[in-house]
């Protein structure tokens, strides 16, 4: 077992030994849902306990767990405070692969969308905004392979104005590398190409923050966009996040569908 895994075991053991059901009617363990994630030193989460709609801010989590909004989590008590021990749903597993868990060399982590997210001129419009599920934390001075597989659609075209779909990435400061983007060609005029399975393809190597436009035919669902990169972080940790919006502001929805996912593999 590597040093990171040993550290996780010690942290979990310490947390379990300090659980004190006598000091609160919470009991030793409770289930809750992550409402939001706050950046800080350290990062914390706001959660709601199952059966309650009260927000509880400032909840800490184990280093091996990557928190994501809407995750269902197991909570314990440590020194009188709540502690997130891990996720109990499959929407954003803690880790996978052969790395022994957490953000260690050789580990692979996944995050996927369990439900659709829709955007239109009524909310974000053409402003690139973080996807609430397709986000993953990365460490400083590390190297990763990152993959996004996105299924998207638009609900309709009005007056021949197609809202379309566009993306960019948010990465920690001074992260180096290029993303490879594959999807419907930006020169196509939606819905002037056949369908989601038969269209001109764009393949481009671009900076992470460069906006990429993808035409989308409203007659078809599950248009597929694949973006991936080998990246190296500098002295700053943070999150790699898929940002997306409408290409043209429109009252019709542009959506990213369930089963869209991201994969992050720690290489060095």
Query: What DSSP string describes 112-179?
Result: E-SS-EEE-TTTTTTS-EEEEEEEEEE-TT-EEEEEEEEEEEE---BTTB---EEEEEE--TT-EEEE
The mean predicted confidence, pLDDT, of the chain is: 79
With helix as H, strand as E and coil as C, how does 35-48 read? EEEECCCCCEEEEE
CATH fold match for the domains 3-87 and 96-266: no
Tokens 């692979």 belong to residue:
108
- Cα separation, 190 vs 220, whole angstroms: 11
pLDDT at 25 over 50: no
The predicted model scores a pTM of 0.63
pLDDT for residue 3: 53
The pLDDT tens digits of the residues spanning 57-107 come to 999 888 777 788 888 888 887 677 888 888 775 344 444 333 334 678 888
Structure tokens at 238: 């943070």
Give the fold, CATH level 3, of 3-87.
OB fold (Dihydrolipoamide Acetyltransferase, E2P) (2.40.50)
* In CATH, 96-266 is 1.10.760.10: no
CA 152 to chain CA centroid, nearest Å: 16
Q: Determine the 3-state secondary structure of 21 from DSSP.
A: helix
For residue range 243-268, list pLDDT tens digits in order. 999 988 888 889 999 999 999 999 99
The residue-averaged pLDDT of 157-172 equals: 80
**Residue % of the chain over a pLDDT of 70:** 75
Q: Residue ranges per domain, the chain?
A: 3-87, 96-266
């Amino acid at each position: 077992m590597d040093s990171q895994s040993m550290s996780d075991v010690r942290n979990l053991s310490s947390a379990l030994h300090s659980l004190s059901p006598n000091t609160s009617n919470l009991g030793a363990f409770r289930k809750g849902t992550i409402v939001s994630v706050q950046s800080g030193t350290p990062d914390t989460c706001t959660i709601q306990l199952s059966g309650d709609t009260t927000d509880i801010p400032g909840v800490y989590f184990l280093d091996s767990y990557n928190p994501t909004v809407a995750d269902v989590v197991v909570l314990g008590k440590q020194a009188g405070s709540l502690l997130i021990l891990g996720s109990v749903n499959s929407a954003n597993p803690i880790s996978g692969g052969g790395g022994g868990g957490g953000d260690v060399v050789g580990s692979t982590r996944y995050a996927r969308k369990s439900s659709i997210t829709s955007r239109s001129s009524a909310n974000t419009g053409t402003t690139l905004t973080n996807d609430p599920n397709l986000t993953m934390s990365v460490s400083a001075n590390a190297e990763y392979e990152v993959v996004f597989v996105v299924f998207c659609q638009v609900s309709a075209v009005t007056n021949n104005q197609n809202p379309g779909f566009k993306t960019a990435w948010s990465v920690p400061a001074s992260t180096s590398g290029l993303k490879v983007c594959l999807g419907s060609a930006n020169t196509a005029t939606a819905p002037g190409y056949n369908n989601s399975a038969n269209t001109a393809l764009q393949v481009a190597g671009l900076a992470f923050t460069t906006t990429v436009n993808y035409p989308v035919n409203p007659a078809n669902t599950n248009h597929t966009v694949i973006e991936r990169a080998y990246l190296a972080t500098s002295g700053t940790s943070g999150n790699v996040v898929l940002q997306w919006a409408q290409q043209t502001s429109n009252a019709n929805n542009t959506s990213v569908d369930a089963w869209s996912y991201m994969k992050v593999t720690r290489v060095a």
